[in-house]
Each structure stands twice: as structure tokens, then as C-alpha cells.
Structure 1
Amino acid sequence: MNILWDYDGTLFDTYPAYAKRMSLVLNGVSEEDCYTQLKVSATHAINHFRMTEAQINEYNLLISRISPEEMPPFDHVEDVLKQADYNVIMTHKDQEGAHKVLDYYGFTTYFREIVTADHGFPRKPDPAAYEYLHNKYRIDLAVGDRELDIIPAKQLGMYTCLFQNDKPADFHLKSYRNFFDVVIF
């Protein structure tokens, strides 16, 4: 099975650290409220909270300083990565930030290719990056934690799986423990 993975909130539990930093910048908005909005997308959260350019810059600086220890992989995701034929990532995260965490946890070798914001593809839900990866690796399944992550996969006819999200998808997972029991073609 060839799997296209989202990064934040799918492979690594990053949103609590992001929400904490956004809450600090917004001084008075709870981490829970920030988390809820970030789970839609960072752009959505920024617009929702009407963040100023100075706040956005401060938030981005704080995000860049998060240690990998605060962004652990989800339980049992490594078991899935080990069993897949090919794994690829498509993320809006920058190359350096993505590799910092992947390298820290020893996950880099599980991926044939890691497409980041630095590659110049349009942001999701534009399907260009997914199409590139699908043409190169014949992707069977796209896994993400947000609807935004699976829209391009659906447009290209891939199977879709949402992690900890009940929006419409072919498969849904609360945990990676039972991945191969749930994701059956």
C-alpha cells in the first residue's frame, strides 16, 4: 500500500503546542479555542481571531522555536509506516521544520518523498502536490486529520482516511492501533 500522509495532526500531535503559542500571542483566548480553530486550518484561525501582522509574525516565531519533544508522533503510527510499501508526505510546513521533527524521532527514512511549502505547490485543497505524488508513486490512500487534507485526494480518485475526524471519508480512525483492520480495499 502506498500512502500519502499529512503531517500536523496526522503523524505528529502538533496542535496542542501550536494552540499554546497562539493563546500566548492572543492573550486571553484559551488554548482550547485556539486548538478548535487551528484544526480547521492555520489560515482559518488567523482570520477567525483577526490576528494582526505583528501577531502573526510573533506566532510564527514561537512556532519555529517549538522543540520536537512537544510534537510527539501519535501512538502506533510508526507501525503503519513500517508496513506500507511507500510513504510520502504533503505538508504546508517548511522543509526545515518538517525534518527537525522527523529526524528527531527517526522517521525520515520511512518516507520516499516529503513535499513541503518550500516546493512551491499551491496550498491544499489545490490538488497539484497530490497529483505530482500520485503520478510518481501511484498513491492508494491519503491520510489526514482535516477535511482539507482529503479534498485533493478525492478529486484524484484516491481512497481517503481521516484520523480523529468524522467528516466524510472512505475510512475513519481514532487510533492507528487498528489501522489495517479498518483500512481494507
Structure 2
Amino acid sequence: MNILWDFDGTLFDTYPAYSDIFYEALRGSVTRQEILSQLKVSFSHAASHFNLSDQQVKEMFIMESSLHPKKTPPFPNVENILKSANANVIMTHKPRLEVMNILNYYNMAGYFKELVAGDDGFSRKPDPESYIYLHNKYNIDLVIGDREIDILPAKTLGIKTCSFQNKTGGADFYLENYEDYFLINL
């Protein structure tokens, strides 16, 4: 099984830290749950929804880039799936250096054959450009992501999809935790 993974909110539990950053930027004017629901669409959607200025967004990216990896741990049991796959690749909008810092901190970089990061020049999801590149190179069997924009490019290519901790329609499979992954009939 060759798996294409999203990073934030799929491999690593980054949303609590990102929600805290939004909460601080919004000076506590909305709940963390409301922030999370907007982040689950996309960062740019949340920034627009909360009418953040360009300066606020820049400051938030600086705060995000300075987060210690211990604030963004891997999801429980995800490593078992990584070990069982023939090939794992990542497609994320996050900058490469930030992804590598987290992967290296948790000694997980070796599980991945390739990383396509936000600063690699590919179009942003849901554009399928990066998925096409990775699928042509690794013959992807499954895409796992936590947002609809992670699933849509895979559906365009006819690749099976798994939505993690998000019940938005359109995925082939849904998981709330990785303990249940091996129960899916792929």
C-alpha cells in the first residue's frame, strides 16, 4: 500500500497549537472550537472568516514557525500505519523546514520517501498538480487527509480516500483514530 498523507491535522496533531495562535490573535473574542471549525476548512478560510489583517496573518505565521515540535505531536498509532505501508509520501502547504523539524524531532523522517511542501512551487490544494506528480512517481493507493481539500485532488485521479477526524462527505473511508485503520477493508 502506497499512501499519500496530509501533514497538519492528519499525521500530527497541530490544530490545538494553531487554535491557540488564532485565539491569541483574536484576543479571545471567539471560542477555540469555532476557530477549529474554520481551520478544518483551511487556514486562509479561517483568516478570511475572522477578518484578519495581512499583518495579523504574518504575525501568526511567525508564531507558527517558532512553535516547538513538542506542541505538535504525532497522532497516537499513526506510526503503526507508516510502518505497514510500502511507501509513504507527504503533500502539505507547510514550509519544508517546519515539516522536517517536526519529523526529525519525532524520528519519523525515515518513514517518508518524499515530501512535497508548500514552498516547492506546486499549486495549492485542491489543485491536483502535486498529487499527479506523486501518483505518477509512487502509484498512490490511498490518500489520507483531514479536510475536503485533501480529498478532492485524489478523487479527481480516482484514488481511494480516507478522511481523518472529519465527516465531510465524499471520502471512501472515515477514521476518528488510527487504532481503527486496520479494520478498513481497503
The interval holding the TM-score normalised by the smaller chain is over 0.9
- Could you tell me which residue of structure 2 aligns to residue 175 of structure 1? 177
Alignment of 1:70-85 (within 5 A): 70-85=71-86
Shift of 1:34: 1.4
- Could you tell me which residue of structure 1 aligns to residue 53 of structure 2? 52
1:156 aligns with 2:162: no
Shift of 1:31: 2.0
Which letter does structure 1 place at the counterpart of 2:6?
Answer: D
Structure 1: tracts of 5 or more residues without a match: none
Percentage of matched positions with identical amino acids: 51
- Could you tell me which residue of structure 1 aligns to residue 18 of structure 2? 18
Query: Any idea what the Cα deviations from partners look like across 1:110-157, whole Å, max 9, x if unmatched?
Result: 000000011100000000000000000000000001111010000000
Per the normalisation by structure 2, the TM-score is 0.97
Q: Which whole-Å CA distance do the structure 1 matches of 2:172 and 2:54 have between them?
A: 39
Q: Which whole-Å CA distance do the structure 2 matches of 1:117 and 1:109 have between them?
A: 20
Q: Which whole-Å CA distance do the structure 2 matches of 1:154 and 1:36 have between them?
A: 23
Per the normalisation by structure 1, the TM-score is 0.97
Which letter does structure 2 place at the counterpart of 1:178?
Answer: D
Which letter does structure 2 place at the counterpart of 1:17?
Answer: A
Stretch moving more, 56-65 or 125-134:
56-65
Which letter does structure 2 place at the counterpart of 1:19?
Answer: S
Which letter does structure 1 place at the counterpart of 2:19?
Answer: A
- Could you tell me which residue of structure 1 aligns to residue 32 of structure 2? 31
Q: Secondary structure at the match of 1:119?
A: coil
Q: Which whole-Å CA distance do the structure 2 matches of 1:105 and 1:66 have between them?
A: 14
> What is the root-mean-square deviation of aligned Cα atoms in Å?
0.8
Shift of 1:58: 1.1
Which letter does structure 1 place at the counterpart of 2:7?
Answer: Y
Kept after mapping to 2: 8 A contact 1:3/1:140: yes
Instruction: Kindly report structure 1 stretches of 4+ aligned residues shifted beyond 3 Å.
Output: none
Q: Which whole-Å CA distance do the structure 1 matches of 2:54 and 2:127 have between them?
A: 25
Shift of 1:30: 2.5
Which letter does structure 2 place at the counterpart of 1:45?
Answer: A
Q: Which whole-Å CA distance do the structure 2 matches of 1:16 and 1:112 have between them?
A: 28
Q: Which whole-Å CA distance do the structure 1 matches of 2:26 and 2:62 have between them?
A: 14
Q: Secondary structure at the match of 2:179?
A: coil
Shift of 1:29: 2.6
Q: Which whole-Å CA distance do the structure 2 matches of 1:103 and 1:181 have between them?
A: 29
Q: How many equivalent pairs are there?
A: 184
Shift of 1:87: 0.2
Structure 2: tracts of 5 or more residues without a match: none
Shift of 1:51: 0.5
Which letter does structure 1 place at the counterpart of 2:178?
Answer: Y
Q: Secondary structure at the match of 1:178?
A: helix
